[in-house]
A and B are shown apart, each in its own frame.
Chain A
Amino acid sequence: RKEVEQDPGPFNVPEGATVAFNCTYSNSASQSFFWYRQDCRKEPKLLMSVYSSGNEDGRFTAQLNRASQYISLLIRDSKLSDSATYLCVVTYTGTASKLTFGTGTRLQVTL
């Protein structure tokens, strides 16, 4: 079983739609959680950190459920420019500088 699992997609949604991605992690010692975004043939970039209390940044909302060991990302009012691969990332206690990536979920927003 992979340490961090995501549905690879692709998720094809029309502009303006709301879309949600989930991610599960296997190690209960997981410490920190992030969503990164990777555009085609580009490097990953931090989208947002994920906190237990949930956090929001504009149209993006991230949630963490430690009991069920899953993380979610909600995108409201999707834009064409949101088309990318969204990577769920986890770090573990004692290895905080080591990011463990999921395989990513591809989002394609269409007109």
Chain B
Amino acid sequence: DTAVSQTPKYLVTQMGNDKSIKCEQNLGHDTMYWYKQDSKKFLKIMFSYNNKELIINETVPNRFSPKSPDKAHLNLHINSLELGDSAVYFCASSQGGPILQETQYFGPGTRLLVL
């Protein structure tokens, strides 16, 4: 009964490649997020979608493009991968939109290593 799932769990690839990470939630939530956790363990939001609409877009290179085909899915496509993209990428979801004190549920993370 995985609430927020991500695939793949591990991704090792060469610089310059294009890759995608998929996220799905079965909680019926309206809002989904992508976070990046770097080698120093600092967790930072990248994007957020509410009912398939982009509501948060932090200062992220445009090589990163999120796509939400429906409110249960939020995928992350990365073009022209660079060494600095190596990190753990977490997907998360929450019940509604801009509502305070909502719990965000995180997926298990995708460990991306760019060689």
For A43, list chain B residues within 8 Å (CB). 90, 106-109
The reply on A59 being an interface residue by CB < 8 A is no
Bound complex: CA A26 to CA B90 (Å): 25
The reply on B99 being an interface residue by CB < 8 A is yes
Known: A87-B43, A103-B42. A44 touches B90 (CB 8 A): yes
The reply on A1 being an interface residue by CB < 8 A is no
The reply on A97 being an interface residue by CB < 8 A is yes
CB atoms of B100 and A44 under 8 A apart: no
Which of B40, B42, B99 gathers most chain A CB within 10 Å?
B42
For B65, list chain A residues within 8 Å (CB). none
Give the dominant DSSP class at A's interface.
strand
The A-contacting residues of B in range 74-102, CB under 8 angstroms, are: 90, 94, 97-102
CB atoms of B103 and A101 under 8 A apart: no
1/0 contact string of A93-111 vs chain B (CB within 8 Å) = 0111111110110000000
A-B contact pairs, 14 of them (CB 8 A): A32-B100, A42-B109, A43-B106, A85-B41, A94-B98, A95-B56, A97-B31, A97-B48, A97-B55, A97-B94, A97-B99, A98-B45, A101-B43, A103-B41
> 6 tightest CB-CB pairs across the interface, nearest first?
A43-B106, A101-B43, A96-B98, A96-B100, A46-B103, A32-B100
Q: Which residues of A contact B (CB under 8 A)?
A: 31-32, 34, 42-46, 49, 85, 87, 91, 94-101, 103-104
